[in-house]
Structure 1
């Protein structure tokens, strides 16, 4: 389903639920009178909102900056694949041609096969990429005496690949989500108990606060994985393919 549609549905659903709670509480308050002192309620609302905003800001900054780390990882991996191809120049045939071909095949595999599903599947689903790395390692090991740096550059490719896939599976954690969700409830709860004389201002305030909190949580959920929603493109691999000539 389209991300914007899902986000809109969440906003509308939470807002409607919040307005329903306000309607019920106003009817109850008509019979029972004010539930809490307004000055105490304002202090609690301000404190809860401030604490939630601080926690949410730190989490948002963390997940947003993870995209920069992921982008750096893609360039490191693409550069390692290029160095593997260049290390083949000192090898005899047919290993030289085969290693260059494997390097290009690896870049194509990442761009064409792995990238479209990078945000959806685990590392065990990228078996073809691992197989290509293993084949490059075997060739480099055979030619270690002629090209001493070959095993090292293949090892650097392996490490860069592991880092990229680890970042692809990165999430902010269940404990953090619990803190965000619980904080959102506690930050928004006091607004239901403000003793407004008229219904419209309370309904407008409630819908606004609920929508803002929902929008923030939905955005964090959408960007918590750095490769989701096309945040990090496959530009590094595509550019490297233009620099690695076919064998």
Structure 2
């Protein structure tokens, strides 16, 4: 289902539900004493809505930051992969060719296999790890003579460790990033309480009251919808694409 259409359904469903509740409260509830509750109800509403706004803002900012961190991490992983291949060029021609070929194969695996799996929240095969292990083995067994080659070999291993680390961080963000059940409980129950509290106020007419609670419910539903779709930085309309690894393939050139 289209993200915009599903988001609109969330907003409409919340607004209609809150509007019906507000209408029922004003139409069939007791009006006695309600205007006198405004001061007390207003103070409670300010506290509850303020705390809920803080929680919502914290969660959304954290998720927005996570998208940026995931994008930067993907580029660091791709840059380190290219750096491994470039450092290996100082070693023997056989080693340089093998590292370059394996690096390209790893980039292809990330683009063609891992990215669709991360987008659909499916498990991944171990191809990526095994390709990195073969790169590590090729660099480790490569002969190095002289300080220059020893230094380039050490640099290749150092950048390869960075690839391992950034890869693990990427997979953690793709498969272990969900908002916890406790946070969802707070977000949903807090939104319900914020929408219900205005029904304690008095003084407004029926239709303006219905419009107020409907608008409030729709806005909160929209924010919760955004939190839901920002959980996975590799899916949804805010998803990160594998542009970093396509860049790496261009830098690595064609197999020779």
Q: Settle same-fold status: TM greater than 0.5.
A: yes
Shift of residue 74 of structure 1?
Answer: 0.8
Match of 2:252 among 223, 244, 247: 244
Closer, same or farther: CA 144–16 of 1 in aligned 2, 3 Å? farther
**Partner in structure 2 of residue 116 of structure 1:** 116
Greater Cα shift, 166-175 or 5-14: 166-175
Shift of residue 95 of structure 1?
Answer: 3.4
1:130-170 per-residue CA deviation (whole Å, 9 max, x = no partner) reads 22112212212211645532333322211111111112232
1:128 matched to 2:127: yes
- In structure 1, the gaps of 5 or more residues are none
**Partner in structure 1 of residue 97 of structure 2:** 97
**Partner in structure 1 of residue 136 of structure 2:** 137
Residues matched between the structures, number: 245
- Counterparts of 1:70 and 1:144, CA distance in 2: 36
**Partner in structure 2 of residue 53 of structure 1:** 53
- Counterparts of 1:195 and 1:153, CA distance in 2: 66
- In structure 2, the gaps of 5 or more residues are none
CA contact (8 A) 2:91 2:144 kept: no
- Counterparts of 2:100 and 2:78, CA distance in 1: 14
1:78-129 per-residue CA deviation (whole Å, 9 max, x = no partner) reads 011102211331333543322211101111221222223323325x414221
1:181 matched to 2:188: yes
The CA RMSD measured in Å over matched residues stands at: 2.1
- Counterparts of 1:125 and 1:156, CA distance in 2: 20
SS in 2 for 1:5: helix
Shift of residue 49 of structure 1?
Answer: 1.3
- Counterparts of 1:225 and 1:155, CA distance in 2: 25
- Counterparts of 1:198 and 1:155, CA distance in 2: 66
- Counterparts of 2:203 and 2:139, CA distance in 1: 75
- Counterparts of 1:144 and 1:218, CA distance in 2: 56
Q: Structure 1 length normalisation: TM-score?
A: 0.89
Equivalences for residues 94-243 of structure 1 within 5 A: 94-122=94-122, 124-143=123-142, 145=144, 148-149=153-154, 150-169=156-175, 170-196=177-203, 198-229=205-236, 230-243=238-251
**Partner in structure 2 of residue 86 of structure 1:** 86
